[in-house]
Amino acid sequence: MALSIGIIFALAAAVLNAGVALNARVAMRRVNDVTGWGFCYQLLAGVVYLFPAILLLSLPSQPLPYLFMLISGVLWTVYVFLSWSSHQHTPTSIRQTVNATKNIFVILAAFVLLNEAITLPRIAGSLLIIGGVAVISYQKKFQIEKGTLLTLGSAVTQAVARVFDKMAIPYFNTPTYAAAQYFLPAIGIGITQKGLLERVRVILKGHWRIMGFAVLLAVSTAYFQFESYRYLDVTVAVMIMELSTVFATIGGIVLLKERENVPRKLIGAIVVVLGVYIIAAL
């Protein structure tokens, strides 16, 4: 029963995260200030979670959960900076493929930190997922460059952050933990950037509808993602949530009219689904 609930939560997170990805594609066509957008996005999502966090406030008495939460927050902050920097140097198609390697890093980090089993289905499924994403986002020209290395760095930090999320989440209610994990990157961005308040004002004035939808999708995704960690191994949860690539691909074809190479994209999507099935079923 608990396994079924966890799978449902992970699938919900995958669907919603596909919405996040599609919304981001639309936003990045209209907004040039990626850093300002990210700061606004993180801050508003944290504010949304702040009110239920205060109402449901329940904090652990031992120090270790706070350490897990802090480490995860720092890693997510590093991830945000690496991910944004990679956007400036690397095409989205290459980023998607390299970022999919996080599945391997999640398996390794979960083995080291949580003693989760490294099984043949998990290895085979993760390789199929990476291969499927590569097919979806295939480009003839691929080379190791600065942007590729930044994307790889973001994949590693994201994978380890997810494992620390899994380690921390049993000690916190979801709104409290989610609020912290949105506010920590916002603080990091705020410290390193100048003129953010004016930049946020400009973004909200011209694109408040897109931002509002982005925040709604983000807070919903975070809720189901963190809840899935309560029921599933983090390796299984992350692999199921990788279906967001499939949903985003289909959404891009149907909603955003991204009709180039549709057969190849659908073949890649089927390979990803097969990889997820192997991991979840076996």
The pLDDT tens digits for 169-189 are 999 999 999 999 999 989 988
Q: How confident is the model at residue 29 (pLDDT cuts 50, 70, 90)?
A: confident
Count helices and strands (H / E) in the chain. Answer: 12, 0
Q: How far apart are CA 111 and CA 102, in angstroms?
A: 14
Q: Which residue has the higher pLDDT, 218 or 37?
A: 218
Q: What is the mean pLDDT of the chain?
A: 86
Q: How confident is the model at residue 22 (pLDDT cuts 50, 70, 90)?
A: confident
Q: How far apart are CA 256 and CA 254, in angstroms?
A: 6
Q: How confident is the model at residue 88 (pLDDT cuts 50, 70, 90)?
A: low
Q: How confident is the model at residue 236 (pLDDT cuts 50, 70, 90)?
A: very high
Q: How confident is the model at residue 94 (pLDDT cuts 50, 70, 90)?
A: low
Q: Which residue has the higher pLDDT, 242 or 258?
A: 242
Q: How far apart are CA 272 and CA 247, in angstroms?
A: 11
pLDDT in the model for residue 132: 82
Q: How far apart are CA 103 and CA 158, in angstroms?
A: 10
**Which residues lie below 8 Å from residue 48, measured CB to CB, with a gap of 6+?**
215, 219
Q: How confident is the model at residue 6 (pLDDT cuts 50, 70, 90)?
A: very high
Q: Are 276 and 270 in contact (CB under 8 A)?
A: no
C-alpha closest to that of 252 among 96, 130, 78: 96
C-alpha closest to that of 165 among 115, 234, 243: 234
Q: Are 249 and 265 in contact (CB under 8 A)?
A: yes
**Looking at the predicted structure, is the pLDDT value of residue 270 above 90?**
no
For residue 258, with 0-12 CB atoms within 10 Å meaning exposed, 13-18 middle and 19 or more buried, which class applies? middle
Q: What is the pLDDT of residues 120-165, one digit of tens each?
A: 988 998 888 888 887 877 666 655 567 678 878 888 999 999 999 9
For residue 83, with 0-12 CB atoms within 10 Å meaning exposed, 13-18 middle and 19 or more buried, which class applies? buried
Looking at mean pLDDT, say which of 15-29, 134-148, 209-223 comes out highest: 209-223
What are 42's two structure tokens? 């993180």
Looking at mean pLDDT, say which of 76-90, 144-158, 231-245, 258-272 comes out highest: 231-245
Domain ranges of the chain: 2-281
Q: Which residue has the higher pLDDT, 95 or 57?
A: 57
